[in-house]
């Protein structure tokens, strides 16, 4: 059961732990892995519901407060490609336990932050340490279980990975209502503590150390490409996009960095990502789909709490609890996936999941200011059912033809792609929200004049010749224009669901030779 991590293990090597652990130890490792995965995935979205409270506390603007979300995801993204090398250099046990300690410390720092710059800096540290958990947990569960149990193991892992983003907003609402927003970060301490104890007692120690040189050039080019891309998305709205030389500079750096990265990994002797991973058709298509799924999964959840609290007037606790149906739907579908896997074509399961997700966003595109909680609850249930049916089957197909010895690298890059989708989705929807809201507001204001006969007939109580009447009308216009912007975003996400479906027909379901 000792972990051996050679430079480039031969194809077809057995599990990284040697023989499979006995059932009792396997269950403990699985418990520790699920705990850490759940904690990490919760932390990616737990701040969503309480963004208005954090914004008020740290005096941030509407576009600045989104950095609290995107900084975590961006840091996770840029660290992810290095995880394969870090694992070979330090061993899974040391890397995982060290990351748990770093994650806990950064969570405490986030909880005591007093300004937006300080909070974003600590969220970067938190995201960087959290990057380790998802790909390592996938690789560990695949290695400690024989192939016949992979589907069940991934279903358990998927519950932690997929339920986390659903539980996060609910837990954030409860903690903020009963205590304050800082507890959305302090709650990590007990979970990390128990996860550390379990994994420290069950994961094997490292025997030998890999001396392979780290691919610093590949890592830096990817770092430049991703950070520059995120700066384009985050700074664009405030700089009037491509009318600004700053945004053009970021775009140029992003394109240059990504070009050099992909040229490098296909020509270097020991690149940060093994090129054979990107040559695998199933894996490449699966990664492309998980990029879009990352957008679908996080973009809607990032803006829904502000819609409920800012436009519908829900208290933070109600905004969190209203999303409970999404969690219930995900739990049901993850349970079904474990039962259906191996009996039903995974492509059919994914198709049903994407369709249900599309239905949820179609329903959300019909939201209005006069609605009650019913449309939010129903659309949340459909979305939870849909996303739960997509995650594990898609991962199973993507990894079906990947050699076991490259699983950690493949899992790292797969997670990186999903994080890029999540970060880009949040930024794009946030930018569209600001832009579309302003456009609609200007259009409505053109018609909000005292000589508009329709306004006089339909809104007789508002006198636009008075300052008070103009203030009331301005408030109504701002609410309506914000709603239209939300609805447009949801409609865009619905169309994205439709666009994903044709990719399913390009996936293959027969396992290729891993030799």
Report the pLDDT averaged over residues 477-487.
Answer: 84
Longest CA pairwise span in the chain (Å): 83
Of these ranges, 253-267, 309-323, 383-397, 443-457, the one predicted with the greatest mean pLDDT is: 253-267
Confirm if 486 and 354 have CB atoms less than 8 A apart: no
Residue 356: pLDDT band with limits 50, 70, 90: very high
Q: What is the mean pLDDT of residues 397-405?
A: 76
In this predicted model, which residue has the larger pLDDT, 74 or 367? 367
Q: Tell me the pLDDT tens digit for each residue of 299-339.
A: 777 778 778 877 888 887 777 777 778 877 877 887 787 77
> What is the arithmetic mean of pLDDT over 58-81?
75
Residue 359's pLDDT is: 92
Percent residues over pLDDT 70 in the chain: 85
| pLDDT value of residue 9 | 39
Q: Which pLDDT band, with edges at 50, 70 and 90, does 138 fall under?
A: confident
Say if CB 32 and CB 199 are below 8 A apart. Answer: yes
Give the torsion sign (CA, 189, 190, 191, 197): positive
Contact 316, 176 (CB under 8 A): yes
Question: What is the C-alpha separation between 388 and 494, in angstroms, rounded?
Answer: 17
For residue 61, the tally of other CB atoms under 10 A from its CB is: 10
Residue 11: pLDDT band with limits 50, 70, 90: very low
Give the residue extent of every domain in the chain.
23-214+272-437+483-506, 215-271
Q: In angstroms, rounded to a whole number, what is the distance separating the alpha carbons of residues 320 and 301?
A: 11
Distance CA 207, CA 2 (A): 7
The CATH H-level superfamily of 23-214+272-437+483-506 is: MFS general substrate transporter like domains (1.20.1250.20)
With 90 as the cut, is the pLDDT of residue 256 above it? yes
In angstroms, the CA 333 to CA 176 distance is 29
Q: What are the residues whose beta carbons fall under 8 Å from the beta carbon of 398, sequence distance 6 or more?
A: 282, 283, 285, 286, 287, 290, 414
Which sign does the torsion angle of CA 424, 51, 129, 234 carry?
positive
How far from chain centre, in Å, is Cα 130? 12
What pLDDT score does 212 carry? 64
Residue 2 pLDDT grade (very low, low, confident, very high; cuts 50, 70, 90): very low
Q: Give the pLDDT score at 463.
A: 66
CB of 429 closer than 8 Å to CB of 494: no
- Measured CA to CA, the distance from residue 322 to residue 320 in angstroms comes to 5
């Amino acid at each position: 059961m000792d972990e051996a991590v050679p430079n480039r293990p031969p194809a077809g090597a057995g599990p990284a732990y040697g023989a499979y652990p006995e059932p009792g130890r396997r269950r403990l490792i699985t418990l520790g892995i699920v705990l850490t995965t759940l904690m990490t995935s919760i932390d990616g979205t737990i701040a969503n519901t309480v963004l208005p409270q954090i914004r008020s506390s740290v005096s941030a603007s509407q576009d600045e407060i989104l950095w609290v979300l995107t900084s975590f995801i961006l840091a996770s993204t840029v660290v992810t490609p290095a995880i394969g090398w870090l694992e070979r250099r330090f061993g899974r046990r040391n890397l995982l336990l060290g990351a748990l300690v770093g994650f806990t410390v950064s969570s405490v720092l986030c909880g005591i932050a007093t300004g937006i710059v300080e909070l974003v800096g600590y969220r970067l540290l938190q995201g960087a340490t959290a990057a380790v958990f998802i790909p390592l947990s996938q690789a560990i569960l695949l290695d400690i279980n024989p192939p016949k149990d992979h589907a069940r193991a991934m279903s358990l892992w998927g519950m932690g990975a997929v339920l986390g983003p659903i539980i996060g907003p609910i837990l954030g609402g409860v903690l903020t209502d009963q205590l304050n927003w800082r507890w959305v970060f302090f709650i990590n301490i007990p979970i990390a503590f128990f996860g550390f104890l379990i994994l420290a007692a069950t994961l094997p120690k490292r025997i030998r150390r890999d001396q392979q040189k780290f691919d610093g050039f590949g890592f830096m080019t990817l770092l430049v490409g991703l950070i520059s891309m995120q700066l384009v998305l985050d700074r664009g709205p405030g700089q009037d996009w491509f009318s600004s030389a700053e945004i053009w500079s970021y775009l140029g750096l992003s394109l240059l960095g990504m070009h050099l990265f992909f040229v490098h990994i296909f020509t270097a002797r020991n690149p940060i990502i093994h090129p054979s991973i990107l040559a695998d058709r199933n894996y490449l298509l699966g990664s492309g789909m998980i990029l879009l799924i990352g957008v679908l999964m996080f973009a809607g959840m990032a803006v829904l709490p502000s819609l409920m609290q800012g436009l519908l007037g829900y208290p933070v606790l109600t905004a969190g609890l209203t999303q409970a149906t999404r969690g219930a739907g995900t739990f049901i579908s993850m349970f079904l996936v474990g039962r259906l896997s191996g009996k039903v074509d995974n492509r059919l399961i994914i198709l049903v999941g994407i369709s249900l997700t599309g239905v949820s966003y179609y329903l959300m595109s019909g939201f209005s200011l006069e609605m009650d909680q019913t449309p939010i609850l129903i659309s949340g249930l459909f979305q939870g059912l849909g996303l739960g049916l997509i995650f594990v089957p898609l991962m199973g197909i993507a990894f079906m033809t990947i050699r076991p010895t490259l699983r950690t690298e493949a899992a790292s890059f797969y997670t990186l792609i999903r994080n890029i989708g999540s970060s880009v989705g949040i930024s794009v929807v946030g930018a569209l929200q600001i832009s579309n809201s302003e456009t609609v507001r200007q259009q409505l204001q053109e018609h909000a004049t005292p000589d508009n006969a329709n306004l006089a007939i339909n809104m007789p109580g508002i006198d636009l010749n008075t300052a008070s009447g103009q203030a009331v009308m301005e408030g109504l216009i701002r609410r309506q224009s914000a709603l239209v912007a939300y609805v447009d975003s949801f409609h865009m996400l619905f169309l994205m669901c439709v666009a994903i479906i044709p990719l399913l027909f390009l996936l293959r379901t027969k396992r290729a030779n891993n030799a």
